[in-house]
Amino acid sequence: MANILFVKNLSKEYKLYNTLNKIPKQIIIDFFKKFLKLKFLKDVYSTRVVLKNISFTLKKNETLGIIGKNGSGKSTLLKIISGVLTHSSGSLKVKGKISSILELGTAFNYELTAYENIEIYGSLMGISKNNFENFKREIISFADITEYLNQPLNTYSTGMIMRLAFSIQISIKPNLLIIDEALSVGDISFQEKCFRKINSLKKNGTSIIFVSHSIDQIRQICDRVILLDKGEMVLIDTPNLVLNRYEKLLQNRNIDTKKDFNKINKDIVQSNSTNFDRHRYLEIKNFRKKAIEDHNFGNNKASILNVVLTDEKNNPQKDFLYNQRCHCLIFVKANEKLNNIISSYQIRTLTGEQIIYADNHLVNMKYNSFNKDQNFTIVWKFNMNLSHGNYVFSTKLSKVTPLTGIRRKWETYDKVNTAYIFSVGVRSEGLIDNFTTWENKLEII
């Protein structure tokens, strides 16, 4: 497969001056050295090397991750590739159009509205008037900021700025997309939307350079990873090999990995009652509205009214500890008389990779019939033996009818692709390489 990016012996250094009055003095020294060949003159600055002899190539459709401690040179490398900075030595060649999301919102005028910023960006990118409406419509649809379109950007939150920046950059269909920590900003549901778009861009031939401190994101998105340390490339290899080396690098520096990786948000929604009360979970209107927006489907013979993940005492929870007991409550209404339904669920990463699948047949449980307008709750119980990170829970109600041989006829009653988003913290013993092992228990209430 053809290479789209060539980087060879790339280095970047900065001149450091003790006082400002040494800068004009150095200009004179440089003049004498260059034109009068007075090589013996001594420079009045010191140098700080930010990048040193970085070499790699990037293939079409490939996603390359870059990881390292703060100050290791990640952002500097991206700025050089994007053309924001010049390199001190070495060579760099890019084939095709580059789109980059670096420091959040740096290309925006915060006194102007989102619409005006989109217009300016479109004109800079050479978008014709005939194509501008489609260009604008695509950005607004993806960013989901329609009601704020005519407000100045200085009234936007950081997450809204990220939505707009990401939407603009992907709208130009780049050959190379560069993302520097942008996806760490904003809500998890929009992050999942971004990852789906990234996968779509990859399938259409876009190469990606992705910088993040999230080991989970790097592991799932990237084909190869570069580990930078103090401006030097320590290793370039598969994600698992590089991330293991990164963990050892942190340990050798006496860094507390629990503090570095265990990003568990303790903002748990508590309840006054620990007894099961069906009505306290049913925010039906909001859940169904979100489910429809998420392209749920089915013939509506049954409706999934809500999905809630809780702890053992049925307190709704978004952030779980590793190996914590979890109850998944799926609230259902039968719109017709139902027999032998199949309840299934799937847990996947934000990038769409399926980790867990289960249904009631796999645990040797069959449901009795349910009458029309009957409400019931499906309760899955399992331990959160997942690698640390963010996950999406989806669920489906269906029926399968045996035909001839191994053939089956599937009928989907209702399916919600993004029913619940949750996170799992790091294991106390440290990181785990694989995602999980899983065991289920199932009840009907």
What are the φ/ψ torsions at residue 273 (nearest 5 degrees)?
-115, 140
Query: What pairing do the DSSP bridges indicate for beta strands 63-67 and 89-94?
Result: unpaired
**One-letter amino acid identity for 194?**
C
Q: Can you tell me the distance from the alpha carbon of 378 to that of 239, in angstroms, rounded to the nearest whole number?
A: 38
Q: What does the DSSP assignment read for 90-139?
A: EEEEE-S-EEEE-STTTT--TTSBHHHHHHHHHHHTT--HHHHHHHHHHH
Please tell me the predicted confidence (pLDDT) of residue 255: 33
CA distance 263 to 426: 8
Q: Report yes or no: 310 and 316 within 8 Å, Cβ to Cβ.
A: yes
Question: Which segments of the chain belong to CATH 2.70.50.60?
Answer: 278-444
Report the distance separating Cα 226 and Cα 239, nearest Å.
9
What is the model's pLDDT at position 93? 92
Distance CA 124, CA 277 (A): 57
Give the residue with greater pLDDT, 408 vs 78.
Answer: 78
Q: Which residue has the higher pLDDT, 278 or 363?
A: 363
Rounded average pLDDT over 184-196? 73
Decide which of 72 and 45 is more confident: 72
**Which of 80, 6, 91, 55 lies closest to 228, judged by CA?**
55
Q: 135 with 119: CB under 8 angstroms?
A: no
What is the arithmetic mean of pLDDT over 125-131? 79
Report residue 22 as tokens. 């040494």
According to CATH, the topology of domain 278-444 is: Coagulation Factor XIII; Chain A, domain 1 (2.70.50)
DSSP string, 312-373: TT--B-SEE-TT-EEEEEEEEEESS-B-S-EEEEEEEETT--EEEEEETTTTT-----B-TT
**Which 3 state secondary structure label does DSSP give 211?**
strand
List the CATH code of the domain at 58-261.
3.40.50.300
3-state secondary structure of 402: strand
Range list for CATH 3.40.50.300 in the chain: 58-261
Residue 106's pLDDT is: 63
